[in-house]
Structure 1
C-alpha cells in the first residue's frame, strides 16, 4: 500500500500512532484462507464512517473492504480498547510537548438523540421524552477533550463528575502498563448542574479547586469566561456526523466512535501547534 493513500480522510501521522495499538490478527490453526484486508484500509474506512456519518453498508468501494469486514474489525478493536489507548497516546504526545493545560479543567454534557434505543438511553428532558443519551466531556483549559463518557439522557450530570475526574487522575494504564503523563488538575469549572455540597467536598479532598456555579447565588457569567471552551469542544465532536444522532444500540460502540473523535480532535490540535 502506498504511503499517504488515506491522507484525504486520516490526519497525517495518526495511523502511525494507532498501528502498534491494534491487536494481532488471529491466525487460522489449519492455515490457508484468503489474504485479509490491510488494517490501514480498515482504519481509514472507520474514520470515514465517523466523519461522514454514513451507514456501514454505504462505505465506498475505494477502501477495498466489505462493510462486514470493516464493522467486524471495528467491534474487535473497540472491545480491545484500541480507541482509548489511541486517545491516551495522543494526549501523552501533547503533554510531552507541554501543550496540555490542566491548571483548569472544564466539565459539561450534551444530549444526543438515540435513533435505535439500546443501553445507556432514557427519556430526554430536552427532546419531549424521546429516547436519548448524554455524552460527557472533560477538557483542559483550551478545550482539548481529556475524558469522554456516555450515560442515559435522564441521568443527572452530577452523577458523572466523580467517574470523569477519577478517570482523568488514573495515571496507570492497565492495558499497556505505562504511566500516563497528564498532570493533576488545578481547578474544575462546571455549571449549576454539578452544584452539590458533597461533590464540592470530594473535589476539595482531592486538592482540586472548585469553580462550580451555585444555584440561586451566581449568574454564571463570571465563570462562563472559562467554561465557554467546553461548548466549543462539544461542537467539534458533533462535527463528526456519526455521533449525532446516536445510531449504535451497543453503548460501547457509540463510546468507541466518541473516543476516536476525541483522539482525532487532539491529534489535529497537536499537528497545528507543532507545525
Structure 2
C-alpha cells in the first residue's frame, strides 16, 4: 500500500498549516513535524488500518495516537473544519444521516458503549452520523448519536445558527415541530410529506432535486474507511476523524 497517496498536497497543507498548534508563541512542541503527523493520521483515516500498522516513516504509532487523542480533546480538528466552512453557500441547507457499523473494539474498555454515541439498531452496534451540508453538498456540521436515535430529534441542533433560504430533507424529517422551527427562522421547508399525513403538504420538487448532493457527500466521506466503520471507543476520537475527513472534502 502506497503511503504517499494518502498525504496532503502542498496546496492543502498551506491551507491548514497556520490553524494547527505549535506556532511561535504556542505552548508545547513546535509545528516542525505537524505535516508529517497529519499525514500519518490521514493514512489511518483513509486505510482503516490499526494504529500499530502505521508505516514507520510517520514515527512511533503510540506517539501519534496520543497526539491525535490530545488534538481531538482540544478541539483542533473541529477548529480546522470550522475555518474551512466559512466560505459556505447558504442558499440551501440540507440535512440527512447515515448509520455506520461499530467494530467490536469500539465497545471494549472501561465503561463500554455508554455515553459514547453507540447503540443497538437493525445493523447491530451502530453510530448515527447526522450531517448538515450547504448548497453545493459540502458538509458544514456533524452530530453523533446512538444508531437507534431518530433523525428529526437531531435536526434542531443541526440547523442552529444557520440562516439558509430553504432547508432540504427527506420524509424522515417531516414533523410539524421541525417545519415550524424552519419557518420561524425565515426559511422554506422543502420536505416531502410522510405517508401517514392525512393532508399532504406540498414541497418545491425542483429544489428538492438538489438534495442528492448530501447523499453524494456521504458517499465521498465513506471512502475514508475510518468514517465508514467506527473503530474508536471514544466518540470524541471518532468525531475527530469525521471532521478531518470533512476537511479533506473542502480542500479538494
User: Match for 1:190 among 169, 174, 178?
Assistant: 169
The question of 1:72 aligning with 2:66 is answered yes
Give per-residue Cα distances to partners, 1:140-199, cap 9 Å, x unaligned.
122111112211101110011011111x53xxxxxxxxxxxxxx3110000111111011
Give the Cα separation in 1 of the matches to 2:246 and 2:13.
15
User: Match for 1:155 among 118, 131, 149?
Assistant: 149
The question of 1:142 aligning with 2:136 is answered yes
Q: How far has the Cα of 1:38 moved from its partner?
A: 1.7
User: Match for 2:179 among 200, 210, 228?
Assistant: 200
Other-structure match for 1:102: 90
For the 8 Å contact 1:49–1:242, the answer to whether it is kept is yes
Report how many aligned residue pairs link the two structures. Answer: 233
**SS of the residue 1:102 aligns to:** coil
Other-structure match for 1:40: 35
Q: How far has the Cα of 1:82 moved from its partner?
A: 1.1
For the 8 Å contact 2:132–2:140, the answer to whether it is kept is yes
User: Match for 1:12 among 2, 10, 25?
Assistant: 10
Give the Cα separation in 2 of the matches to 1:22 and 1:77.
9
Pair 27,10 (structure 1): closer, same or farther in 2 beyond 3 Å: closer
Q: What's the C-alpha RMSD, in Å, of the aligned pairs?
A: 2.5
Q: How far has the Cα of 1:102 moved from its partner?
A: 1.7
For the 8 Å contact 1:191–1:220, the answer to whether it is kept is no
Give the Cα separation in 1 of the matches to 2:32 and 2:231.
25
Give the Cα separation in 1 of the matches to 2:233 and 2:219.
23
Aligned pairs (5 A) from 1:91-240: 91-92=85-86, 95=87, 100-115=88-103, 116-117=106-107, 118=113, 119-125=116-122, 127=123, 130-166=124-160, 169=162, 184-216=163-195, 217=200, 222=205, 224-240=208-224
For the 8 Å contact 1:213–1:220, the answer to whether it is kept is yes
**Bigger shift: 36-45 or 130-139?**
36-45
Give the Cα separation in 1 of the matches to 2:10 and 2:90.
26
Give the Cα separation in 2 of the matches to 1:204 and 1:210.
7
The question of 1:51 aligning with 2:46 is answered yes
